[in-house]
Amino acid sequence: MIRRRWLSGICCLSVMNMLSLRSAFAAAQLVQEQSDVAGGMFDVIVVGSGMAGHCAAISAKLSGARRVLIVDKAPLAGGHTALASGSIAFVDARRQARQGIEDSVEKFIEDARAAGGDINEEIVRCFAQNSGPAIDWLQSQGVRFAPNIFRAYGGLHPRCLTAFGNIGARYYISKLHEKSRELGIETRLLTKAEGLHRFEENLLALRLLDKRTNSEYMVQAPSIVLATGGFGANLALRMRYRPELDHEIPTTANPRGLAEDPATGDGLFLAQSLGAAWADMDRIVMLSYWGGRMLDYIGAEIYVDSEGRRFVDETATTSKIAKAIAALAGRSMFVITDAKSDKGVNVGAKIAAGSIHRSDSVAEMACEMKVSAVQLQRTLDEYNKCAQDNKQDRFGRRTYLQTIDQPPFYWGQERLMVHATLGGLSTDAKARVQSESGSVIEGLFASGEVAGGIWGSDRLGGTGLLQCLVQGKIAGIEAARCAAVSARRS
Ligand SMILES: Cc1cc2nc3c(=O)[nH]c(=O)nc-3n(C[C@H](O)[C@H](O)[C@H](O)COP(=O)(O)OP(=O)(O)OC[C@H]3O[C@@H](n4cnc5c(N)ncnc54)[C@H](O)[C@@H]3O)c2cc1C
């Protein structure tokens, strides 16, 4: 029945070859309206409602796709994006120059290479070149940013923005979701994509599970965008590539095991059924986040070991810091800042969870940390001297926003957690998923953390969300174009 109706729709569409893109979409919509299945026919289906999924869906709709569907297996929209601090990296010399910051696409690429090594330069360049306009686009969707451009944690240059009022990336999701509703994009939550098949030459079919009723049904579209996030919470998969990252290591999205981390790599398996290639699967970002770290920028905290001594340049890249923490006894450290620093977006949650402590003096802090007060004071004095003189310290640190000397002191213990996966679906600069042979899989796109092989072994602070934004936008445009071509061909 579904097939017959689709074929009749195809006949109807074939006489419309000469009509405009929008007419073609209108005809495709007619096919959907004739369908009596629960799911039906769409121009573009997006799997995942995080930043990448929302950007793809909105961009597809704005590029002419008539029927756009977002599905998400979770009860709440937003995935990891809804938990993120909100730092977004970008390069826009004009915007940065207003704050006296010099930057360029070439410098961004150089920094990305310094962090990750063997980057995919074509895609990184595409992200950097499109990042300024993408930030403008996000603003045009209703997002407001805090005015200050800053150097994010794990970043090598001041080139990040964050949400107005420092309220985290869940704000981006709420704004993008509002916009998607305004545009008539349908979102089905508690709806898991379980299977992906080629239904016709120009048509893909997705098998969905409605988790409320435990029933399955099919939806079809010429274009499907996978935006299912990473795979850090899939223990078997991550241990296949990194056996040492076992069950004892939580994810930063679920540090206490109290939630269901959606980053199970579903998009990888969905795409694999159509022959998609996976890239760089062993590249996993390890981060300390839910203990004492409380700033989303660098320059106002120090890390000390179990003896109260600094051991690393706290402004280095994420992977360098992770390596240094992994080499410590107990693989844990303390993070210290003071009353002066502007605290990060999740500080309230961390205080509530008891992972951040407050002490009125260095001696009290040392006592609670069970380290020597004399040593801790010496560490702080040495650091504060370098900060006052603004001189490079023995770990190579050059960036100091302030001294750490005004009580109360805030501190906490940190361990490494699985934060993000840099491996995933191999894509080209148009977000088209590539097969093992390097050819493009017609109609299949990927954006956000599900797409891998881009950043090498580490990525700069704020580039996770940058990737979602730019690649999501591109995936949406390309998916709409592919749907239009498919409608014209039919
Ligand atoms: C605590 C934390 C802080 C962070 N802070 C920052 C930051 O400040 N800056 C930055 O750049 N990056 C940050 N990151 C990383 C960044 O948030 C992620 O890389 C990014 O949000 C991933 O977005 P996404 O859209 O690709 O995936 P997600 O936002 O994870 O969305 C994926 C969605 O797909 C859904 N899904 C998965 N499988 C299926 C399926 N089979 N069917 C239907 N739906 C499915 C999931 O339920 C989820 O909602 C942070 C991450 C964490 C955990």
Give the pLDDT band of residue 181 (cuts 50, 70, 90): very high
DSSP single-letter state for residue 266: H
Q: Is the pLDDT of residue 10 over 60?
A: no
- Pick the closest to residue 206 from 37, 408, 12 (CA basis): 37
Write the residue with the smallest CA distance to atom 33 of ligand 1: 48
**Is 448 contained in some domain?**
no
Indicate which residue's Cα is closest to atom 53 of ligand 1: 253
Give Cβ neighbours of residue 133 (< 8 Å, ≥ 6 apart). Answer: none
Estimate to the nearest angstrom the gap between the alpha carbon of 268 and the chain centroid. Answer: 16
What pLDDT, on the 0 to 100 scale, is given for residue 364?
A: 98
Tell me how far apart the alpha carbons of residues 154 and 406 are, in angstroms, rounded to a whole number: 25
- Residue 361 CA to ligand 1 center (angstroms) comes to 39
Spatial separation of the C-alpha atoms in residues 422 and 234, rounded to whole Å: 14
| pLDDT (0 to 100) of residue 353 | 87
pLDDT at 2 over 80: no
Report the distance separating Cα 373 and Cα 376, nearest Å: 5
CA 49–ligand 1 middle distance (angstroms) = 9
In the reported structure, the alpha carbon of residue 253 is separated from the centroid of ligand 1 by a whole-number distance in angstroms of 9
Q: Best substitution site from 173, 217, 228 to test ligand 1's pocket, by max atoms within 8 Å of Cβ? A: 228
Query: Residue 291 phi/psi, 5° resolution?
Result: -95, -120
What's the rounded mean pLDDT across residues 166-180?
96
Q: Which atom of ligand 1 is nearest to the CA of 86?
A: 8
Any domain includes 7: no
Residue 331 DSSP label: G
Q: What does the alpha-carbon distance between residue 246 and residue 235 come to, in Å, rounded to a whole number? A: 7
**pLDDT of 28 over the 90 cut:** no
C-alpha 370 to ligand 1 mean position (Å): 37
* Per-residue pLDDT at 244: 97
CA of residue 488 to ligand 1 center, whole Å: 35
What is the domain count for the chain? 1
pLDDT over threshold 90, residue 347: no
Written as six digits, the tokens of 136 are 């403008």
Rounded to the nearest angstrom, the distance between the alpha carbon of 67 and the centre of ligand 1 is 24
pLDDT band at 333 (very low <50, low <70, confident <90, very high): very high
The whole-angstrom separation of Cα 274 and Cα 1 is 25
* HSE-CB of 222 using CA atoms within 13 angstroms: 29
- Average pLDDT of 252-281? 96
**What percent of the chain shows pLDDT beyond 70?**
92
Confidence bin at 166 (pLDDT 50/70/90): confident
Q: What pLDDT score does 8 carry?
A: 31
Q: Which residues line ligand 1 (CB under 6 A)?
A: 47-53, 71-74, 78-81, 83-87, 192-193, 227-229, 252-253, 262-263, 266, 289, 420, 448-450, 462-465, 468
What average pLDDT does range 400-414 have in this prediction?
96
pLDDT at 337 over 50: yes
Residues sharing a CB contact under 8 Å with residue 249, sequence separation 6 or more, in sequence order: 416, 417, 418
C-alpha of residue 293 to centroid of ligand 1, in Å: 20
Please tell me the distance from the alpha carbon of residue 267 to that of residue 279, in angstroms, as a whole number: 13
Task: Kindly indicate the confidence band of residue 3, based on its pLDDT and cuts at 50, 70 and 90.
Answer: very low
Write down the pLDDT at residue 21. Answer: 36
- Residue with CA nearest ligand 1 atom 41: 193
Task: Choose one of 272, 465, 471 to mutate for the ligand 1 pocket test, by most ligand atoms within 8 angstroms of C-beta.
Answer: 465
Q: Read out DSSP for 417-482?
A: EEEEE--EEEB-TT-EEEBTTS-EEEEEEE-GGGEESSSTT---TTHHHHHHHHHHHHHHHHHHHH
The tokens describing 415, both together, are 């361990």
Q: Is the pLDDT of residue 482 over 50?
A: yes
**Looking at this protein, which amino acid is placed at residue 216?**
E
Cα(230) to centroid(ligand 1), Å: 7
Per the domain annotation, does 50 fall within a domain? Answer: no
Contact 474/431 with Cβ under 8 angstroms?
Answer: yes
Q: Are the beta carbons of 219 and 39 closer than 8 angstroms? A: yes
| Residue identifier of the C-alpha nearest atom 12 of ligand 1 | 464
pLDDT of amino acid 489? 83
Each residue's pLDDT tens digit, 456-465: 999 999 999 9
In a domain, 385, yes or no: yes
Q: Kindly give the number of the ligand 1 atom that is closest to the alpha carbon of 290.
A: 1
- Is residue 86, in this structure, part of any structural domain at all? no
The residue type of 137 is: W
- What CATH number does the domain containing 322 carry? 3.90.700.10
| Band (490; pLDDT cuts 50, 70, 90) | confident
Mean pLDDT, rounded, for 98-125: 98
Region class of 308: left (phi > 0), else alpha (psi between -120 and 50), else beta: left
Euclidean distance between CA atoms 186 and 43, whole angstroms = 12
Q: How far is the CA of 261 from the centre of ligand 1 (A)?
A: 10
The residue type at 38: A
pLDDT at 22 > cutoff 60: no
What is the per-residue pLDDT across 209-250, written as a single tens digit (0 to 9) for each? 999 999 999 999 999 999 999 999 999 999 999 999 999 999
For 156, which DSSP code? Answer: S
Classified as helix, coil or strand, 401 is: coil
Sequence-ordered list of residues with C-beta below 8 angstroms from that of 350, at least 6 positions apart, any chain: 290, 291, 292, 294, 356, 412
Q: Which pLDDT value is given to residue 349?
A: 85
Residue 389 domain-assigned?
yes
Give backbone dihedrals phi and psi of 451, rounded to 5 degrees, phi first. Answer: -90, 130
Question: What is the arithmetic mean of pLDDT over 396-409?
Answer: 95
Mutate to test the pocket of ligand 1, among 80, 187, 284 (most ligand atoms within 8 A of CB): 80
Q: Give residue 39's pLDDT band: very low, low, confident or very high (50, 70, 90).
A: low
Task: Report which of 37, 35, 93, 26 is spatially closest to residue 65, judged by C-alpha positions.
Answer: 26
Confirm whether 490 is domain-assigned.
no
Burial 233-257, CB ≥16 within 10 A → b, else e: bbbebbeebbeebeeebbbbbbbee
Atom of ligand 1 nearest to the CA of 270: 41
Residue 36 has pLDDT above 60, yes or no: no
Position 19 pLDDT exceeds 90:
no
CA distance 333 to 309: 10
Is residue 6's pLDDT more than 70?
no
Q: Which two tokens stand for residue 15?
A: 């006489």
Task: Using DSSP, state whether 114 is helix, strand or coil.
Answer: helix
Ligand 1 center to residue 328 CA distance, Å? 30
Give the whole-angstrom CA distance, residue 179 versus residue 225: 19
The SS3 call for residue 220 is: strand
pLDDT at 274: 97
User: How far is Cα 153 from Cα 459, in angstroms, rounded to an integer?
Assistant: 11
> What length does the chain have?
490
Closest by CA position to 34, among listed 13, 4, 69, 5: 5
Average pLDDT over residues 283-311: 94
- Domain span at residue 302 reads 289-415
> If we measure between CA atoms, which residue out of 254, 263, 255 comes closest to residue 412?
255
Ligand 1 centroid–CA 263 distance in Å is 7
Q: Domain for residue 409, yes or no? A: yes
Q: How far is the CA of 80 from the centre of ligand 1 (A)?
A: 3
Counting from 1 in the atom list of ligand 1, the atom nearest the Cα of 465 is 11
In angstroms, the CA 453 to CA 425 distance is 8
Of all protein residues, whose CA lies closest to atom 50 belonging to ligand 1?
84
Q: Which of 81, 254, 421 has the most ligand 1 atoms within 8 A of CB, as the residue to mutate?
A: 81
